Amino acid sequence: MTSREASQAPLEFGGPLGVAALLILLPATMFHLLLAARSGPARLLALPAYLPGLEELWSPWALLLFFIWLGLQVALYLLPARKVAEGLELKDKSRLRYPINGFQALVLTALLMGLGVSVGLPLGALPGMLLPLAFATTLTSFIFSLLLYAKALVAPASALAPGGNSGNSMYDFFLGRELNPRLGSFDFKYFCELRPGLIGWVFINLALLMQEAELRGSPSLAMWLVNGFQLLYVGDALWYEESVLTTMDIIHDGFGFMLVFGDLAWVPFTYSLQAQFLLYHPQPLGLPMALLICLLKAIGYYIFRGANSQKNTFRKNPSDPSVAGLETIPTATGRRLLVSGWWGMVRHPNYLGDLIMALAWSLPCGLSHLLPYFYVLYFTALLVHREARDEQQCLQKYGRAWQEYCKRVPYRIIPYVY
């Protein structure tokens, strides 16, 4: 295939029609959630009581704030890193290098915010700006994805992603044509996946907590739990930053609208939904229930971290004492597949842990509304779809060895259920 020929990869997401629908549905869903969280009835499955006018959505100050935030995160990304990691081997046999300083960026952002708040930075005013901020971020995501699409037109064939080169412009714009678009050594996809949106999510949550304290005298127990759980999730992602280099997003998916919008807008504005809901709909939560929810979160985290670390350690060094004793299946590629330990329980144990944690994030919001459970529903759909995509890729990569693995480990995500 030359760089200008369309790839033969099967179309995903329902092809051009499916992605056309998603281009509208994803931003529409995000705005629906933002509006529903602050509305009295807070209904997930009802049309919004009103549609905001342009004057409510558009604010040059929100755009400026978003760019200042991006600028800060770029500056922190460019600071000297404790380590520079190598990614997996690319089509042209080269490996890209990535700075490992995400956790440092989180801590420095927290210190700067703390300093800002101590000199009067009104962080508690952020919840009132979520709508125009989400609008500015969505607009930027569309423009940025167009620029990435144009950049990919002059990229060499070896730089293109397997999936985003169908020849249909809209489909390729959505999926992303180039695998690892870079400006010099600055990697756009790696930066966006872990920095502005993920760290932004934590600070939106914190702003909601501060606003609740201002309104009601102190933050509620439910708000503390949601903030603590999600901070742990983001802190974990940045602490184990290197392991993102082996995720499907980095090694397989191009960088197009799906990930640009997902990373910059969807994550901070929809993943903070539970905290948004709690600000406008305070929920009573007793200590025994809170402890039970903490236990659920701990179980989820134990499975998620155990499974991800086991696979990462095995991929990096199969003779590491912590994984050397595990049973494996050899494959024609020379790599082996784990068939005992976490990866012998189900084929995607990390998804199971992630889903249990998702439930623990929503339970502090009580059972009176479906809205705070949006994340659990969306995430289940995302992981089931992602699991199918990954299985397809593994079948292509490993052929009979993968079939053997599926026979030995028949359940995908939930033991004896699915």
Ligand X SMILES: NC(=O)C1=CN([C@@H]2O[C@H](COP(=O)(O)OP(=O)(O)OC[C@H]3O[C@@H](n4cnc5c(N)ncnc54)[C@H](OP(=O)(O)O)[C@@H]3O)[C@@H](O)[C@H]2O)C=CC1
Ligand Y SMILES: CC(C)CCC[C@@H](C)[C@H]1CC=C2C3=C(CC[C@@]21C)[C@@]1(C)CC[C@H](O)C(C)(C)[C@@H]1CC3
Q: Which residues bind ligand Y (CB under 6 A)?
A: 26, 193-194, 198, 236-237, 244, 247, 249, 258, 261-263, 266-267
351 binds ligand X (CB under 6 A): yes
31 binds ligand X (CB under 6 A): no
Residues 6+ apart with CB under 8 A from 379: 354, 355, 358
Strands (E), 134-274: 182-183, 186-187
Residues 6+ apart with CB under 8 A from 194: 102, 237, 238, 241, 244
3-state secondary structure of 337: strand
d(CA 47, CA 218) in angstroms, rounded, equals 33
Span 222-281, contacts to ligand X by CB under 6 A = 246-248
> What is the Cβ-side half-sphere exposure of residue 395, based on CA atoms within 13 angstroms?
9
Closest approach, Cβ 326 to ligand Y, in A, equals 21
408 binds ligand X (CB under 6 A): no
User: Can you tell me which of 394, 404, 406, 408 binds ligand X, judged by CB under 6 A?
Assistant: 394
Residues 6+ apart with CB under 8 A from 13: 19, 22, 174, 175
Closest approach, Cβ 237 to ligand Y, in A, equals 3
User: Residue 97 — left, alpha, or beta (φ > 0 → left; ψ -120 to 50 → alpha)?
Assistant: beta
Site string for ligand X, 279-308 (x = CB under 6 A): -------------------------x---x
Closest approach, Cβ 279 to ligand X, in A, equals 22
User: Can you tell me which of 337, 356, 360, 365 binds ligand X, judged by CB under 6 A?
Assistant: 337
d(CA 340, CA 107) in angstroms, rounded, equals 37
262 makes contact, choosing from ligand Y, ligand X, none, with CB < 5 to 8 Å by partner type, with ligand Y
Span 354-393, contacts to ligand X by CB under 6 A = 354, 382, 386, 390, 393
Contact status, residue 36 vs residue 42, Cβ threshold 8 Å: yes
30 makes contact, choosing from ligand Y, ligand X, none, with CB < 5 to 8 Å by partner type, with none
263 makes contact, choosing from ligand Y, ligand X, none, with CB < 5 to 8 Å by partner type, with ligand Y
Closest approach, Cβ 298 to ligand X, in A, equals 16
Cβ closer to ligand X: 283 or 309?
Answer: 309
45: Cα separation from own chain's centroid: 24
348 makes contact, choosing from ligand Y, ligand X, none, with CB < 5 to 8 Å by partner type, with ligand X
d(CA 203, CA 158) in angstroms, rounded, equals 38
Which amino acid type is present at position 12?
A: E
66 makes contact, choosing from ligand Y, ligand X, none, with CB < 5 to 8 Å by partner type, with none
Residues 6+ apart with CB under 8 A from 89: 95
258 makes contact, choosing from ligand X, ligand Y, none, with CB < 5 to 8 Å by partner type, with ligand Y
Closest approach, Cβ 367 to ligand Y, in A, equals 25
Tokens of 249: 């997003």
Which stretches of the chain bind ligand X, using CB under 6 A? 246-248, 304, 308, 311, 315, 335, 337-338, 343, 348, 350-351, 354, 382, 386, 390, 393-394
